[in-house]
Chains A and B, each alone.
Chain A
């Protein structure tokens, strides 16, 4: 009888059912879409962060930057001596690689790693040295030719050089290098990578000129496992390539080499630029941060939360918009839907006063009538919920098909060159004509300098989880129960004698 009556009421009063269900459907679809987009934005934020800091990094320690001392030489100068290069056909070909901790990056003493490891509740520590390798290569006219031509100016046009007429041409290649401790990769940038080809660095690589490359960089630079790469004048064997495990972002650096070699080649003996810290448990993070800051006052200690706040760009805008607008909009629509359901249920009960009075007169208990009213409302809510879920899934699918891209950048002091931005590391060419002198070196170092950001373009995907669906169904039931409880209470309060007297 319960279900027969329920079915008859819902199909007999379609308009009311449709209105209540529609309100509920819109609200629930909105909740689903807002929830899953919010989850997508979180994933995107995490992927931007992970590409820089690795998985499981709770705290990152860097040296607080100070302005360089007056008159200090910027690193990365290229000095060519008289005997440098090889000469052929009137041109001297020169090539030099410099591995430096580029401007904008500050190093600190490697003993800080030990100090931090000594802080209580620290689970894992890894120090890295972030470097930038710049290779200068090019052709200048052979010195012997110039000297021969110098005494009598009236001699014919200059010869030699790149164009065979005394011109020069040079090329500047830049890529990021990270010195890592091959025996401690549990925490730090390499914890967020997956091996693509070859092998990773292990403890046996300490002191060995072996390098692992970001696979995207390897592809653009046409390098492969088994080949070599010139880093600061030392030929490194490429033993493996790695991919980021977090979606579209690249890994933290183009090239990874053992820390000891990175320090010696870049003349940064005993120096590191970054310490990655993993805490025993999340509840200790703040205490560890305080302890590290006290032990190493000259450093900047950032927690993952600080870092998440540093994710900027449209990703941050989307995140804050979801938190404010999305949340409030879904709450407002939900309240409106609940109120609509309650209002229509109560007015339905009022319209059916005589009906309920009759049922009471023929012996229906209050409980039975309340149950009937509540059952109707819950089913109306569930119908709305079902349509809402369909509507929400359609909305989420549409978002996933459109796949809007969001850009996010995580600022990370001390990381000279990191992440996706460095994937564009390529050649900066310049040239100078005969007798004009160096004038075209504008691009020099442009790629590496001050690149303390990992900019990533992340495709937003809105994941649909079972829990979101359950929440939606729960909301539909709650809305229905709420309307049913209030409507049922109204029906229960009717005295049968008075209900029968009502004139409708």
Chain B
């Protein structure tokens, strides 16, 4: 699925330069479930952004499928994000004014589907995370675990090839964490996703097929 070749990312922030990624070369086959661990500030989120076509490396190449995403224009990056990638964030990042159903529909907006099809697919996605009965609720009316389920439905409603999750259980208690991990694992298995999860939590990382550790911008396989 992914091929990274000597990828570096440098942030220059008020005189100081930060080398967030330092010559990362890496391959992730399609359908793999990968956990990324490492100390805070190690470059986990930065790596996930490269994989998710949210940002370009300072040097090196990132290839996703056949596409070298480190070279393409912004508009094309947005298209890749819309079609091939799903994101799940630590703090859920739902639109506070929209209902659960509408939040899921936002992911389908760039695909320009007919309204009826859009509604139906969003409804089905909510059902797959067992939240049909909360479709009309606002995020503020949902628990953390329920909000993260809505976020997962939003990430998967487009049938992406990759699901990228940055500490998806970081804001949840242990029971809810296990619930969410069960859900993610089930969906990964059912849909043949490539699932990449950044986590501090060894219990979460233990569920992955492969564990990567990033320290000071350098990636190593843990096992």
Q: Spell out A's residues near B (CB within 8 Å).
A: 1, 4-5, 8-9, 11-13, 354-355, 357-366, 368, 495-497, 500-501
Check if A496 sits within 8 Å of B54, measured CB to CB. Answer: yes
Smallest CB separation, A472 vs chain B (Å): 29
A-B contact pairs, 10 of them (CB 8 A): A5-B97, A5-B98, A355-B93, A361-B52, A362-B81, A363-B79, A364-B78, A364-B110, A366-B78, A368-B110
B contact residues around A5 at 8 Å (CB): 95, 97-98, 102, 106
Check if A368 sits within 8 Å of B109, measured CB to CB. Answer: yes
Check if B78 sits within 8 Å of A365, measured CB to CB. Answer: yes
Q: Which 8 A-B pairs have the closest CB atoms?
A: A363-B82, A12-B97, A497-B55, A363-B110, A358-B93, A8-B97, A363-B81, A497-B54
Known A1-B105, A1-B118; contact A360-B97, beta-carbon cutoff 8 A: no
B contact residues around A366 at 8 Å (CB): 74, 78
Contact count band on B: 20 to 34
Does B116 lie at the interface of the complex (its beta carbon under 8 Å from any beta carbon of A)? no
Check if B54 sits within 8 Å of A361, measured CB to CB. Answer: yes
Smallest CB separation, B75 vs chain A (Å): 7
Main SS at interface, chain B: helix
Does B49 lie at the interface of the complex (its beta carbon under 8 Å from any beta carbon of A)? yes
Smallest CB separation, B165 vs chain A (Å): 12
B contact residues around A9 at 8 Å (CB): 97
B contact residues around A368 at 8 Å (CB): 109-110
Q: Which of A11, A360, A361, A366 has the most CB of B within 10 A?
A: A361
Name the CB-closest residue of B to A365: B78
The CA of A358 and the CA of B155, in the complex, are separated in Å by 11
Check if B109 sits within 8 Å of A495, measured CB to CB. Answer: no
> Contact mask B56-97 → A, CB, 8 Å, 1/0?
000000000000000000110011111100110100010111
> Contact mask B151-174 → A, CB, 8 Å, 1/0?
000110010000000000000000
A contact residues around B118 at 8 Å (CB): 1
**Cβ-defined partner of B87 (8 Å) among A1, A4, A355, A362:** A362
A contact residues around B154 at 8 Å (CB): 362
Check if B110 sits within 8 Å of A365, measured CB to CB. Answer: yes
A contact residues around B80 at 8 Å (CB): 363
In addition to A5-B102, A363-B78, 16 A-B residue pairs with Cβ atoms within 8 Å of each other are A1-B102, A1-B105, A1-B109, A5-B98, A9-B97, A12-B96, A13-B97, A355-B93, A359-B106, A361-B52, A363-B82, A363-B107, A363-B158, A366-B78, A497-B55, A501-B45
A contact residues around B54 at 8 Å (CB): 360-361, 496-497, 500
Check if B95 sits within 8 Å of A355, measured CB to CB. Answer: yes
Of residues 157 through 212 on chain B, the ones whose CB sits less than 8 Å from some CB of chain A are 158
A contact residues around B109 at 8 Å (CB): 1, 364, 368
Known A8-B102, A359-B106; contact A354-B55, beta-carbon cutoff 8 A: no
**Cβ-defined partner of A1 (8 Å) among B49, B83, B89, B106:** B106
Known A9-B97, A368-B109, A497-B54; contact A363-B83, beta-carbon cutoff 8 A: yes
